[in-house]
C-alpha cells in the first residue's frame, strides 16, 4: 500500500529530506508549496497532513476521509481544531521538545538585551549619539526575581539558565504540584497575581488556549513593578498588545520583549514595534540549523508511527484513543 502524505506549507527549500525518511513506508510526499491546486483538492485522498502555519478546521478534515494524523510541525497546536479531529478519529500531534534550547536562549537574550540596554544603545550609536545615561536606569541582574508563567520544558530551561546569572526564580503553573516546580529549580507561587507583583522579569511560557488568550491584560500589567520587564516567546495573543503598548508609552513598566504576536506578520511600522522600550524578533526564537533538522525528523517519525498503526509519540488529543 502506498501512503499519501501532504505538507500544506513549510519553510524548507524542498522536501527531499522528508521523502528520504518516508521511503521505509512507501509513501508519496506532496508539497503544497509547489502545487498550484488548492489545499482542499490536494488532501482529498491524503493519509497524513503536516502543517506549519495553515489552519486546519472541520471542513478541511471532511475533505480527507482517509487521514489518520495531522502533525503540527512546531510546538503550538492552536491552528488545529482538536475537537473536530477527535470526532473523526484523527490523531493530532505536535513537536514539543525540538527547540527547547533555542527558545530558552532567546528568552534569556531578550532579558539581557533589555536589562543592559544593548539594542537601545546600538540604535542610539548608529544614529550618531554617544550617551551612556540616555534611556532607563539599569540594575544588576543578580538577585532579581524572574517569574515564569507556566513551567513546562522551555520554562524549566530558562530557569536553569537564569539561576546561573544569580536570579531568583519563581513559577506559577496550576497544572503542576509544588514538588514538581521545586524539582525544576523554581519556587512555586500560589497564583498569577502574586507572581506578577513580585517579579522583576516575567517570562510567559503557556500554550495559547481559550483560557490563556489575553491572560496578561491591562489588569495584570497594572500589578507589575515599575521596573518590570515582560518577555513572550510562547504564543501571540497571550499578552494583550494594546494594553502592553499603553503601559510602555506611559512608562508603567520598564520594557518588553516579544517574539510572537497576535497577528503575524505584525505591522512593522505600527506604534508597538516602533516603541523604543520594546525589543522584537519575527517569531524566530525556535530557529537554528539543529532545531530545524530535529523538527523535520521528529515530525516524519510521528507520521510514520501513525501510518504503521502505532500511537504517535507526541499525541495531543488523547481522547481520540477512546475512538480507536
Q: Catalytic residue positions? A: 235, 264, 283
Q: Can you tell me which residue has the cell 544588576? A: 140
CA distance 260 to 278: 13
Cis peptide before 191 (omega within 30 of 0): no
- For 265, other C-beta atoms within 10 Å of its C-beta total 8
- Are the C-beta atoms of 15 and 31 separated by less than 8 Å? yes
Structure-block grid coordinates of residue 37: 491546486
CA distance 244 to 291: 30
Structure-block grid coordinates of residue 149: 508563567
Q: Can you tell me which residue has the cell 511560557? A: 205
- Are the C-beta atoms of 170 and 189 separated by less than 8 Å? yes
The closest alpha carbon to 50, from 115, 3, 118, belongs to 3
H or E segment at 233?
Answer: none
Strand order in the sheet with 48-51: 27-31, 3-7, 48-51, 69-72, 91-93
Indicate the burial class of 225 (C-beta count within 10 angstroms; 0-12, 13-18, 19 or more).
Answer: middle
Amino acid at each position: 500500500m502506498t501512503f499519501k502524505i501532504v505538507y500544506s506549507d513549510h519553510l524548507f527549500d524542498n522536501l527531499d529530506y522528508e521523502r528520504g525518511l518516508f521511503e521505509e513506508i512507501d509513501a508519496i510526499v506532496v508539497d503544497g508549496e509547489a502545487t498550484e491546486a488548492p489545499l482542499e483538492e490536494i488532501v482529498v485522498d491524503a493519509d497524513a497532513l503536516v502543517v506549519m502555519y495553515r489552519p486546519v478546521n472541520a471542513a478541511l478534515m471532511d475533505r480527507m476521509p482517509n487521514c489518520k494524523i495531522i502533525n503540527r510541525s512546531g510546538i503550538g497546536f492552536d491552528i488545529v481544531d482538536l475537537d473536530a479531529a477527535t470526532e473523526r478519529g484523527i490523531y493530532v500531534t505536535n513537536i514539543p521538545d525540538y527547540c527547547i534550547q533555542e527558545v530558552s536562549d532567546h528568552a534569556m537574550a531578550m532579558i539581557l538585551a533589555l536589562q543592559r540596554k544593548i539594542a537601545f544603545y546600538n540604535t542610539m550609536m548608529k544614529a550618531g549619539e554617544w550617551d551612556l545615561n540616555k534611556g532607563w536606569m539599569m540594575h544588576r541582574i543578580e538577585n532579581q526575581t524572574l517569574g515564569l508563567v507556566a513551567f513546562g520544558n522551555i520554562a524549566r530551561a530558562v530557569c536553569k539558565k537564569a539561576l546561573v546569572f544569580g536570579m531568583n526564580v519563581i513559577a506559577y503553573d496550576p497544572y503542576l504540584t509544588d514538588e514538581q516546580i521545586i524539582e525544576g529549580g523554581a519556587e512555586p507561587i500560589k497564583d498569577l497575581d502574586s507572581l506578577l507583583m513580585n517579579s522583576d522579569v516575567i517570562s510567559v511560557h503557556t500554550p495559547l488556549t481559550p483560557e490563556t488568550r489575553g491572560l496578561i491584560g491591562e489588569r495584570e500589567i497594572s500589578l507589575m513593578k515599575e521596573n518590570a520587564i515582560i518577555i513572550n516567546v510562547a504564543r501571540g495573543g497571550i499578552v494583550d498588545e494594546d494594553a502592553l503598548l499603553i503601559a510602555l508609552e506611559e512608562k508603567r513598566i520598564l520594557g518588553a520583549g516579544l517574539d510572537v504576536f497576535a497577528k503575524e506578520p505584525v505591522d512593522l511600522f505600527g506604534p508597538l514595534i516602533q516603541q523604543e522600550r520594546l525589543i522584537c524578533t519575527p517569531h524566530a526564537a525556535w530557529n537554528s540549523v539543529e532545531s530545524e533538522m530535529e523538527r523535520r525528523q521528529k515530525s516524519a517519525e510521528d507520521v510514520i508511527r501513525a501510518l504503521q498503526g502505532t500511537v504517535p509519540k507526541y499525541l495531543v488529543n488523547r481522547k481520540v484513543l477512546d475512538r480507536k
